[in-house]
């Protein structure tokens, strides 16, 4: 049976922690779905994890819809959330509603995610029957305005602002809220005061759920990983070893052998 937004709220009510992972293609989505991952985010992190951009900012609606369709084809049971890219919801509310609708109508997603505390936009999209996941704290789309990837909410004033944003989004009707790059105690306060479940990434252990970028989890990154990311595999090294062995076998005339050739 497919996971719905109501299931996430039920997880919170039961005190049952859950996970969300990003996916950008059909095979990854299918593997995650078959493993029982309840929520798959088609993140705009596709930009710096798959498309080679330095940040998420250049990612377009067309690119997001393309990858969303691929993920939807691979996910039978998971709730698929499409990430609204930079400037797709920053102008007129009518444009934001239209772009959110494209994720469901053209992309096949079940819900959308909005980065930044855009309360009126979130409420308007929810009012149109489109489930909205919020995202506050550190926002990769606002990396330039924030002066880099910096932890947010360290001062009491900033913490109060983020708490107020969370509560306002909760009242606007979001079904879940991503908390990124904030202190653990602030995430705990937000989680306790919200009816919607919280999903942390660099927000400590007190959130209702946790999310990681799939490339970080699988060890497919280049350079260092964020402090909050834990590689559970090292597939970059595995892939490099496999292709090196293949090239060596071909050079030595050992591949293809009789077992891999037609008679």
Active site residues: 180
User: What whole-number distance in Å separates Cα of residue 176 and Cα of residue 198?
Assistant: 6
Helix (H, G, I), strand (E, B) or coil at 260: helix
Helix (H, G, I), strand (E, B) or coil at 116: coil
How many residues comprise the chain? 263
Q: Please spell the DSSP secondary structure of 61-72, one letter per residue.
A: HHHHHHHHHHHH
Structure tokens at 39: 């929520």
The residues near 169 (Cβ < 8 Å, ≥ 6 apart) are 117, 119, 122, 134, 136, 177, 196
- Candidates 228, 210, 120; CA nearest to 165 is 120
CB atoms within 10 A of CB 144: 9
User: What whole-number distance in Å separates Cα of residue 192 and Cα of residue 186?
Assistant: 10
235, 219 Cβ separation under 8 angstroms: yes
Beta strand pairing status for 79-83 and 198-201? Answer: unpaired
The helix (H) or strand (E) run that includes residue 190 is helix 184-193
For 55-58, which contacts have Cβ atoms below 8 Å and span 24 or more sequence positions?
A: 55/140, 55/143, 56/85, 56/86, 56/140, 56/141, 57/86, 57/141, 57/143, 57/144, 58/86
């Amino acid at each position: 049976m497919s996971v719905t937004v109501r299931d996430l709220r039920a997880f919170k009510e039961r005190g049952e922690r859950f996970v969300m992972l990003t996916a950008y293609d059909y095979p990854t989505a299918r593997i995650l779905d078959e493993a029982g991952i309840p929520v798959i985010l088609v993140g705009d992190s596709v930009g710096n994890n798959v498309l080679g951009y330095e940040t998420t900012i250049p990612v377009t609606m067309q690119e997001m819809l393309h990858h969303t369709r691929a993920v939807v084809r691979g996910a039978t049971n998971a709730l698929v959330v499409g990430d609204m890219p930079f400037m797709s919801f920053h102008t007129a509310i009518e444009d934001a509603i239209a772009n959110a609708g494209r994720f469901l109508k053209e992309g096949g997603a079940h819900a959308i995610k909005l980065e930044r505390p855009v309360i009126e936009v979130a409420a308007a999209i929810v009012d149109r029957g489109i489930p909205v996941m919020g995202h506050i704290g550190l926002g990769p789309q606002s990396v330039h305005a924030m002066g880099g990837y910096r932890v947010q909410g360290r001062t009491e004033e900033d913490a109060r602002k983020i708490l107020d944003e969370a509560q306002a989004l909760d009242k606007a009707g979001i079904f879940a809220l991503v908390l990124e790059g904030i202190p653990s105690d602030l995430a705990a306060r937000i989680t306790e005061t919200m009816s919607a479940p919280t999903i942390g990434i660099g927000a400590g252990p007190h959130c209702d759920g946790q999310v990681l970028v799939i490339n970080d989890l699988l060890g497919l990154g280049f350079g260092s990983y964020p402090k909050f990311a834990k590689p559970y595999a090292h597939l970059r090294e595995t892939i490099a070893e496999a292709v090196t062995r293949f090239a060596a076998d071909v050079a030595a005339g050992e591949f293809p052998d009789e077992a891999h050739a037609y008679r």
